């Protein structure tokens, strides 16, 4: 079984400051890892994903995440926060469920607020 733990349900940063959202996972098989972003009253949008290969993954809007197998972590970072980054962020791990179908297990989310 897979699980995801997001450390901190709410993170607050100043505009221009570093954004760091933490995610740890457990998986019995090599994981696929994802970060999704949800803006108010909208669905989830893929930010970035790790499947295989390079462990530093770059996504949209200047975000990136690094897969660290030894630490079972996939933390999301952005060097300089912008007001438009205010949203809820979800980390997810995939579990193979047969054929070409994979199920996602989500963390409980981290709400990011950006202060002017």
Give the residues lining the site for another protein (CB under 8 A). 9, 32, 34, 36, 41-46, 49, 51, 90, 94, 97-104, 106-109
- Three-class secondary structure of residue 99 per DSSP: coil
Q: How far is the CB of 116 from another protein (least distance, A)?
A: 26
CA distance 9 to 103: 23
Q: How far is the CB of 17 from another protein (least distance, A)?
A: 25
CA distance 101 to 20: 31
Nearer to another protein, 17 or 104 (CB): 104
Q: How far is the CB of 16 from another protein (least distance, A)?
A: 29
In Å, how far are 14, 36, 68, 94, 111 from 1, measured between CA atoms? 37, 21, 19, 10, 26
On whether the CB atoms of residues 53 and 66 are closer than 8 A, the answer is: no
Nearer to another protein, 58 or 103 (CB): 103
Nearer to another protein, 17 or 88 (CB): 88
Q: How far is the CB of 36 from another protein (least distance, A)?
A: 8
On whether the CB atoms of residues 116 and 16 are closer than 8 A, the answer is: no
Nearer to another protein, 34 or 63 (CB): 34
């Amino acid at each position: 079984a897979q699980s995801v733990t997001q450390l901190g349900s709410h993170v607050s940063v100043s505009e221009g400051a570093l954004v760091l959202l933490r995610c740890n996972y457990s998986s019995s098989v090599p994981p696929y890892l994802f970060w999704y972003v949800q803006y108010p009253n909208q669905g989830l949008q893929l930010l970035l994903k790790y499947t295989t290969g390079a462990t530093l993954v770059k996504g949209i809007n200047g975000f990136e995440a690094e897969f660290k197998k030894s630490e079972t972590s996939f933390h999301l970072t952005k060097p300089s926060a912008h007001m438009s980054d205010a949203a809820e962020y979800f980390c997810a791990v995939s579990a193979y469920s047969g054929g070409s179908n994979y199920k996602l297990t989500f963390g409980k989310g981290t709400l990011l607020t950006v202060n002017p």
